[in-house]
A = this chain, B = another copy of it.
Amino acid sequence: MTSKPQLIEPRTLKGFRDYPPALMIPREEVLQTARRVYRAHGFAPIDTPALEYAEILTGKGGEESDRLIYRFKDHGDRDVALRFDLTVPFARFAAMHIPKLGTPFKRYAMGPVWRGENTSHGRYREFWQCDFDTIGTTSNAADIEAALVIHELLVALGLERFEIRINNRLVLNGLLQEAGLSDKSVAVLRALDKLPKVGMDAVLEEMSGHGIDREAGRKVLELASSTGEPTEILERLALAYPGNETLGEGVRRLRELFATVAACGLPAERFRLDLSIARGLDYYTGTIYETFLLDLPNIGSICSGGRYDNLAGLYTNQKLPGVGASLGVDRLLAALEELGRLGKRETPAEILVTQFDAASLSQYFRIASVLRKAGLAVEVYPEAKKIGQQLQHAEKRGFKLAVIAGPDELASGRFKLKNLLKRTEEAFGENELAEAAKRELAGEVTVS
């Protein structure tokens, strides 16, 4: 016996995963839905490389973030790194291309990003993001549209029980000015983030450790955690501080947003004013969005974003304000799975054309092509195995219908169409088959 070479163990890196069909079919649906919604609003697709000069990517999210970046020397000894989000490469892209492309510029981008995260909390080191942004305008129209796009996206994904929490940093900044706490904004925002978890007293205690007066702190926290009708809260704020321009502008923009939501006839309960959300302490400067699934509040926000003053200030002197949001594709997929909303299908095709006899292959291919021309997705089983085995394969993979064409059927030109779910069958002529299949599939989702 000759010695065989040792096998290489087939495995993926820790924090990385394969997408087999049962997971990839839903991911493609999510991305295709996002693509359709973004395009319907005039966002254009762009892509940037996975690898960038390290200096483009590092130093954007602080030391913690730099530590997570996959960074190495390439063949030309260049210091390179894998992108850790789609925003920083977009900023670099904007600095290079906006002079030619012009503004306003609306883009979407979808792709994997890489972070050497601790994997203990089910986090992946490779995961997909799916962003949209409007840059080159400070107009509130772009902020309002971002909220409408998030809403339309989640509805298009088949979700109903969700809420988009909306804030505007200008309101918070105005409140801090009024409380004489503008120079303590970082400490207050951090405290605000903890409020739902630890309660008012613990937060005030922490704030006084930062030299913040308890009464001033309490006033900001109480206003920022107001609940109720957005228009009422905004009215109350505007009346409380009529002279504060920062707060006034934030209130004006939020009012216009909620008014447009109402004018478009969208369900009010899905748009909630939440003055406590800050989403990072420095980056966002205006409207802020977070999106929660009511049935899975603990998975966190599945679509977040906001308005920023200057996208690409590190790379260009051209000031590029903008607003946008990012759909967390893998978090959404995990949520859909938990909600039992992921199908179990392992094939995108609905119909399996079985083979009785390899000599009739071209007839099976012809039948399949007739069905495909009618817009159906069809697999021809590649071998003339026993029909029982072929039907088992069809059921395991999630086919809905099977066409059976033995010698009698091929001779008579009438083929059996078997409904694998209902376990019924009926014979049809070749020119009736597609319509019959569509009737059987009616109510089922088809590829198109």
- Tell me the A residues contacting B by CB distance below 8 Å: 5, 7-14, 16-21, 24-25, 27-28, 35-36, 39-53, 55-56, 68, 70, 72-76, 78, 80, 82, 92-93, 95-97, 101-102, 104, 106-107, 112, 114, 116, 126, 134, 137, 139-142, 144-145, 148, 256, 259-260, 263-264, 312, 314-317, 346-349, 352, 355, 358, 361-366, 368-369, 372, 376-383, 393, 396, 447-448
Contact = CB atoms under 8 A, between A and B. Distances in A.
A96 B72 CA distance: 29
A40 B447 contact: yes
A10 B46 contact: no
Contacts of A93: 10, 18, 20
A96 B13 CA distance: 13
B21 A102 contact: no
Contacts of A368: 41
A260 B361 CA distance: 8
Contact of A101 (B49, B107, B346): B346
A370 to B, nearest CB: 10
Contact of A12 (B49, B114, B148): B49
Contact of A42 (B45, B78, B315, B378): B378
Contacts of A377: 39-42
Contacts of A56: 8, 10-11
Given A51-B13, A263-B366, A141 B315 contact: no
B349 A382 contact: no
Given A50-B126, A74-B70, A263-B365, A346 B18 contact: no
A7 B314 contact: yes
A141 B45 CA distance: 38
Contacts of A10: 56, 92-93, 95-96, 312, 315-316
B369 A107 contact: no
B101 A40 contact: no
A386 to B, nearest CB: 15
A382 B50 contact: no
Given A40-B377, A315-B10, A116 B75 contact: yes
6 tightest A-B CB contacts, nearest first: A42-B379, A72-B72, A263-B362, A21-B44, A42-B349, A10-B95
A365 B116 contact: no
B361 A141 contact: yes
B55 A8 contact: yes
A447 B38 CA distance: 11
Contact of A361 (B13, B41, B144, B347): B144
